[in-house]
Amino acid sequence: MIRKAMRLLLAAPLALSVLAVPAATQAQDTELQTAEEIVAAMQPGWNLGNTLDAMCCSPGADETAWGNPRVDDTFFNDIKAEGFNSVRIPVSWGTRTGPAPDYTIEPATMDRVQQIVDYALEADLYVMINTHHDSWQWIEHVADPEQHDAVMAQYSATWTQISETFKDYPQELMFEPINEVGFSGWGPGTERDHELIGELNSSFHEIVRASGGNNADRLLVLPTIRTGSDPGDMNALAAQIEALDDPMLAATTHNYGFFPFSANLAGYPSYNEEVQNFLEEDFQRQVDTFVSQGVPVIIGEYSLHDNYENRVERGEALKFFEHFGYLARTSGITTMWWDNGRHYDRYKREWRDQEQFDYISTAWTTRSGTASTDNVYVDASDKIQDQSVTLNLNGLEFEKVKYGNTTLRAGRDFTFEGATLTIKAKMLKSILDDREIGTSGQLKVYFSDGMPWKLNFINSEDVVIEDATGTNTGLTIPTAFNGDRLSMLESVYADGTAAGSIGWTTFPGFWEDFRPDYENGAILLTKQYLDALKDGEQADLTFYFWGGQTLSYTVVRSGETVTGSVA
């Protein structure tokens, strides 16, 4: 609490000037910046992922090793123009470091890191650099008593060199000691884990502060175990920050949402109330543990699980990003979007998914309304009926519905009561006049602020699957989707236990264990899933589709032969 009071005392005389001056201008006067002010001015942030961190994993690998172009002196101007105020630059140093006892970082590598940092600073961005894949390549071996001293020596040498190189840089540059380090697997840390990361954080703090120059009061961003937000891990970091008694410290965590939703497994294909509550509680814990005590928080990475574009239904993903942005804004927590090249095309200098970015950037300032679904499946074999969805107003007001440039008329084309929007059958006939399976019509629902929500009405019929034979390399199940889409799969043995590669859930992972092939009309059960099945024992499968249909199927693996049958 003393630390919090000191921060508030330092910040109070600056309140009026902070409100009146743009963030980029504030950053020029380092003497006026508290840790809270720096972190607040960083929002929103972006990650230069899979670039300097890509030096980690093969001989001679450089920043282009994982498919991204070299960063030039104009790149960060474009990132700044997209609305970002900070960039996290992950760096892997280990493969560019010489042997003991000096552990000298290659001069060319340090020069290149310095050049990229300069580019970002010149674009008026706050910058955070770290040690990235070093965490799992060598730093985590500090837990081995036989390697402990050697690891600490290399760690100390690494941060001594980084500190010396950047000690005269302005306060817009900050240091993060390590990325997602863990010593006993994923999950909450043990007491020993907390001791080890505490040692790493303390050593880092001592090295940087002793190096002089602007490092004496540079913002240092300390992580939890695995950069997670488990209460015990955050409490351990909070205690360490309190003990260090340094007002220029921030805490950092990472956030990829509720894992079963983020990876679409364990029966969580939707951004439902349970998934939403998980995220809300996560933010609140960070507020209670850090922010309310005067310790600013940077979520140094956030997104959904890698390849979520194929795993998570699009509308459900948009709901997550909209809600995440709202919670960050109202919690006073700065966030840095993880982008390894999947989002911003660094060759074309444009977003690969502009609408997704629009949802994310809109959430920086306001909410957007959503709905219970973005796809409504209309039976193409039957007479068209009225179709209803529930709107999530998110504190906004419903305004209108449009079909192209035409605004629909209330009463005639739709009704809106409570939170239920009902599109009349007559209106649907006009947009689904061609009842061909798979064709669709789109309406846009507008609210008093934020993004409009797209509603796709799709002509569909019952999904049909067929028997199949194959090998354990993969079973291709012929499937007539008939306009529908696959949601999830349940897989059990006769006794009700999980059948597949994930023993703790009866719902295997979308894409890794099974995946749809809409273009070729098939569902693929992958080698990973099939290899995990008990030899000769029948697995009972239930396929769930977004249109509401479920289909039963059985699979038996006998050696390398796999047989699938409609149940």
Name the average pLDDT for the chain.
94
Residue 106 DSSP label: P
pTM assigned to the model: 0.93
Q: Please name the helix (run of DSSP H) or strand (run of DSSP E) that holds residue 328, with its range, or none.
A: helix 314-331
Residue with tokens 């899979």: 50
Beta carbons within 8 Å of 535's beta carbon, 6+ residues apart: 557, 558, 559
**Least confident residue range of 12-16, 100-104, 199-203, 368-372:** 12-16
In degrees, rounded to 5, the angle at the alpha carbon of residue 101 between the alpha carbons of residues 99 and 102 is 80
The pLDDT > 90 percentage for the chain reads 92
Cα–Cα separations (whole angstroms), residue 366 to 55, 219, 278, 363, 509: 38, 29, 21, 5, 33
- One of 37, 63, 176, 180 is an active-site residue; which one? 180
Digit-coded pLDDT (tens) for 277-332: 999 999 999 999 999 999 999 999 999 998 999 999 999 999 999 999 999 999 99
Mean pLDDT across 101-116: 98
The secondary structure of 489-537 as a DSSP string is: EEEE-TTS-B-SS-TT-SSPPBTTTEEEETTTTEEEEEHHHHHTSPTT-
* Catalytic annotation present for 180: yes
Tell me which residue of 562, 384, 554, 379 sits closest to 483, measured CA to CA: 379
| 365 vs 538: CA distance, rounded Å | 53
Digit-coded pLDDT (tens) for 155-176: 999 999 999 999 999 999 999 9
pLDDT at 58: 84
Look at the alpha carbons of 219, 223, 227, 229 in this order and tell me if their dihedral is positive or negative. Answer: negative
Q: Taking a C-beta distance cutoff of 8 angstroms, is the pair 180, 254 a contact? A: yes
Mean pLDDT across 14-29: 35
Digit-coded pLDDT (tens) for 35-80: 999 999 999 999 999 999 999 988 889 999 999 999 999 999 999 9
pLDDT at 512: 97
Look at the alpha carbons of 355, 360, 365, 366 in this order and tell me if their dihedral is positive or negative. Answer: positive
440 has pLDDT over 70: yes
Beta carbons within 8 Å of 444's beta carbon, 6+ residues apart: 401, 402, 403, 452, 453, 454, 455
pLDDT at 331: 98
User: Phi/psi at 523 (nearest 5 deg)?
Assistant: -115, 130
29: left (phi over 0), alpha (psi -120 to 50) or beta: beta
| 91 vs 39: CA distance, rounded Å | 21
| 149 vs 457: CA distance, rounded Å | 63
Domains of the chain: 2-362 (3.20.20.80), 370-460 (2.60.40.10), 464-566 (2.60.40)
Cα–Cα separations (whole angstroms), residue 22 to 25, 26, 41, 123, 267: 5, 6, 9, 14, 45
23 has pLDDT over 50: no
End-to-end CA distance of the chain: 64
Digit-coded pLDDT (tens) for 221-249: 999 999 999 999 999 999 999 999 999 99
Q: Taking a C-beta distance cutoff of 8 angstroms, is the pair 514, 525 a contact? A: yes
pLDDT at 433: 82
Residue 516 CA to its chain's centroid (Å): 23
The amino acid at residue 291 is V
Residue 320 CA to its chain's centroid (Å): 10
7 has pLDDT over 50: no
pLDDT at 31: 65
543 has pLDDT over 70: yes
Q: Taking a C-beta distance cutoff of 8 angstroms, is the pair 393, 448 a contact? A: no
Cα–Cα separations (whole angstroms), residue 523 to 35, 257, 443, 468, 518: 52, 27, 30, 11, 8
pLDDT at 32: 66
Residue with tokens 């409609």: 566
- One of 36, 172, 301, 322 is an active-site residue; which one? 301
3-class SS string, 190-227:
CHHHHHHHHHHHHHHHHHHHHCCHHHHCCCEEEECHHH
The model's confidence at residue 442, banded by pLDDT at 50, 70 and 90, is: very high
The model's confidence at residue 28, banded by pLDDT at 50, 70 and 90, is: very low
Tell me which residue of 515, 456, 122 sits closest to 314, measured CA to CA: 456
Q: Taking a C-beta distance cutoff of 8 angstroms, is the pair 206, 219 a contact? A: no
pLDDT at 434: 83
As beta bridge partners, residue 477 has: 523
366 has pLDDT over 50: yes
Residue with tokens 């039957």: 382
Mean pLDDT across 112-127: 99
The secondary structure of 426-452 as a DSSP string is: HHHHHHS-S--TT-EEEEEEEESSSPP
